Amino acid sequence: EAADDEFIKTKGVQLMLNGSPYYANGFNAYWLMYFASDPSQRNKVSSTFQEATNHGQNIARTWAFSDGGYKPLQYSPGSYNEEMFQGLDFVLAEARKYGMKVILSLVNNYENFGGKKQYVEWARSQGQSINSEDDFFTNSLMKKKRMYSTVSEDIVQ
């Protein structure tokens, strides 16, 4: 199966998968990567996907970020926690095993698990003049493939 065939696309307002209409029925579980980063907790991730599949669900939304703070995926810009990446890899492998699609959220609008606030703090520590957390969306340091763009690309690869 070609890698491109695994992605959901759109045709007008219709979601499509492999040329056929796709109807998403799923759940949100921010904690999947966090739990999967601890091998003794991975059974919770597996059972979540199994239960979802048993109830006809076919897609999950989860966080693929944790910036700074406790058990981060990213300690600082470009500095990653391999245990968390292994947890994310496990989540994606389990999703595939159960035929689930995954929506990966790459940053939080709120400060939980870092979010845009953490990126703003990192930019300020690099000398950027930032007035508000909403500058996350417009600041050149974050827009020019240096902070948020870099971590997003690293996760996707």
How do residues 63-90 score in pLDDT, each as one tens digit? Answer: 999 988 889 999 988 889 999 999 999 9
Please compute Rg for the chain using Cα positions.
17
**What total of structural domains would you count in the chain?**
1
Does 36 map to a domain? Answer: yes
Does 129 map to a domain? Answer: yes
- Which residues span the domain enclosing 138? 26-156
Does 17 map to a domain? Answer: no
In whole angstroms, give the CA distance from residue 49 to residue 152.
24
Burial status of residue 117 (CB atoms within 10 A of its CB: 0-12, 13-18, 19 or more): middle
Does 15 map to a domain? Answer: no
How do residues 85-112 score in pLDDT, each as one tens digit? Answer: 999 999 999 999 999 999 999 888 877 8
Does 146 map to a domain? Answer: yes
Asked if pLDDT for residue 123 goes beyond 60, the answer is yes
Domain CATH number, residue 81: 3.20.20.80
Does 45 map to a domain? Answer: yes
Residue 1's pLDDT band (boundaries 50, 70, 90)?
Answer: very low
